[in-house]
Chain A
Amino acid sequence: MCENCGCGNPGEKAIIRVPGEDLKNQENELHEHYHSHPHSYDPGSDHNHHQHNESGHDHEHEHDHPEINRKIVSVETDILLANNLMAERNRGVFEAKNLTVINLMSSPGSGKTTLLERTINDLKEKIKFSVIEGDQQTMNDAERIKVTGVPVVQINTGNGCHLDAEMINRAIKRLAPVDGSFVLIENVGNLVCPSLFDLGETCRVVVMSVTEGEDKPLKYPNMFRSVTLCILNKSDLLPYLDYDVSKAVEFGLRVNSRLQFIELSAKTGAGIEAWYEWLLIHGGLKPT
């Protein structure tokens, strides 16, 4: 919750900064609110509406309030409309600047940051990168990316469990990526919430490590259905585990029959060429 007004939209309390930046500089941005505050409840009203849920009967009966002119206003609006509109604005910016924007999602600890470090170090002579890091707290991941020498901003969502399009819109302004470059977004480690929020990205990728269960796609179908690529990371550990790759692939395809898979180790580099090729193809730098 914002301390001034009690507003609690996770998108508006996110802190966006570059490594080394003082939090005080963010004072103004922290209180930049775009929405109206709906504190218009009239406590003096004597209209006591039926508590249908508590009494347990259904809602199909006619309400009898002769003294009141009830009016049903059709709304028919997507609840995520504000996010989806902002995502489309982002998409327009990305297209105009010829940016390839990859939204990387996974559970915590699957190796997203290590994958980014290796990818950037191996390809930075060929491709211009910048990175948006998303975490509830700390600058740790941004500090790690900073070592690679590419521009990075960290979004701290506070209690928020996902990045949203408005945060990306603000972050991209700070990042100011050069035309024709790649922007890698590392979403908050969470296989549930980020699946619902369009950021305007070019591609959505999920990273699953072989130290997790093979049935992750079955447990988190919304996520696996929303992505085009699944990276199976930490393949160097396979000899020590009972993990069955073919089972994971089978489960992934049951949820999303068009899902692509790349098995690799971000640590040793085994299998990573397939991921680089995928990146080049999706950035339009290599024909399919």
Chain B
Amino acid sequence: MHELSIVLNIIELVAMEAKKSGVERVTEVRLEIGQLSGVEYDSLEFALKNLAPGSIIESAEIIIDKPVGTARCVKCDYEFAIENFIGSCNLCSSFDLEIIKGRELRVKSITID
């Protein structure tokens, strides 16, 4: 359940940004959590629901962008969408794949009044 740590880190980052902007609450938090990031979306939502009360994100709407995984074949450079790490190049069947998208774990933006 590392999603708890993830959410605590999100709250800390948002609190820091809010402080920089001199506000005490945020109305929206936009996250980017890739489909290959190793984060379980259900667990993340559960952790958000449980850790948000009393924190800076209590009244904020949380929007989660979920970029799909994209791999690039190291052998032939072909780029294609993947759902998990188990797979081979659609073109040359090589297993040597570089993940170029889908591992994002970012706070993209916050909206303040």
Question: Which residues of A have CB within 8 Å of B87?
Answer: 254
A interface, CB within 8 angstroms of B: 6, 8-11, 35-36, 38-42, 45, 47, 49-53, 59, 68-83, 160-162, 164, 192-193, 195-197, 218, 221-222, 224-225, 253-258
Does A80 contact B105, Cβ atoms closer than 8 Å? yes
B 1-26 to A, binary, CB cutoff 8 A, 1 in contact else 0: 11011101111111111110100110
14 residue pairs bridging A and B, Cβ less than 8 Å apart: A10-B4, A10-B8, A38-B14, A41-B56, A41-B58, A68-B113, A71-B21, A78-B106, A82-B12, A161-B2, A196-B2, A254-B87, A255-B86, A257-B94
Kindly state the separation between the CA atoms of A35 and B15 in the bound complex, as whole angstroms. 10
Does B113 contact A47, Cβ atoms closer than 8 Å? yes
* Also in contact, A77 and B61, with CB within 8 A (given A8-B51, A69-B113): no
Kindly state the separation between the CA atoms of A221 and B97 in the bound complex, as whole angstroms. 13
Does A74 contact B5, Cβ atoms closer than 8 Å? no
Task: Report the interface size class on chain B.
Answer: 35 or more
Kindly state the separation between the CA atoms of A195 and B5 in the bound complex, as whole angstroms. 13
Does B25 contact A50, Cβ atoms closer than 8 Å? no
Q: B13 CB to closest chain A CB, in angstroms?
A: 6
Interface residue B90 (Cβ < 8 Å from any Cβ of A): no
Question: Which residues of A have CB within 8 Å of B84?
Answer: 221
Does B10 contact A70, Cβ atoms closer than 8 Å? no
- B29-68 interface with A by 8 A CB criterion: 31, 36, 38, 51, 54-56, 58-61, 63
B interface, CB within 8 angstroms of A: 1-2, 4-6, 8-19, 21, 24-25, 27-28, 31, 36, 38, 51, 54-56, 58-61, 63, 84-88, 94-97, 105-113
Question: Which residues of A have CB within 8 Å of B86?
Answer: 218, 221, 254-255
Closest B residue to A51 by CB, please name it.
Answer: B61
Does A41 contact B97, Cβ atoms closer than 8 Å? no
Does A73 contact B54, Cβ atoms closer than 8 Å? no
Question: Which residues of B have CB within 8 Å of A253?
Answer: 95
Question: Which residues of B have CB within 8 Å of A164?
Answer: 5
The 8 closest A-B pairs by CB, nearest first: A38-B15, A193-B2, A221-B85, A222-B38, A38-B56, A257-B95, A257-B96, A40-B24
Kindly state the separation between the CA atoms of A233 and B15 in the bound complex, as whole angstroms. 45
Question: Which residues of A have CB within 8 Å of B9?
Answer: 79-83
Kindly state the separation between the CA atoms of A20 and B61 in the bound complex, as whole angstroms. 49
Question: Which residues of B have CB within 8 Å of A36?
Answer: 12, 15-16, 19
Q: B109: which of A35, A73, A197 is its contact (CB, 8 Å)?
A: A73
* Also in contact, A49 and B55, with CB within 8 A (given A74-B108, A161-B1, A221-B86): no
Kindly state the separation between the CA atoms of A195 and B38 in the bound complex, as whole angstroms. 8
Does B55 contact A39, Cβ atoms closer than 8 Å? yes
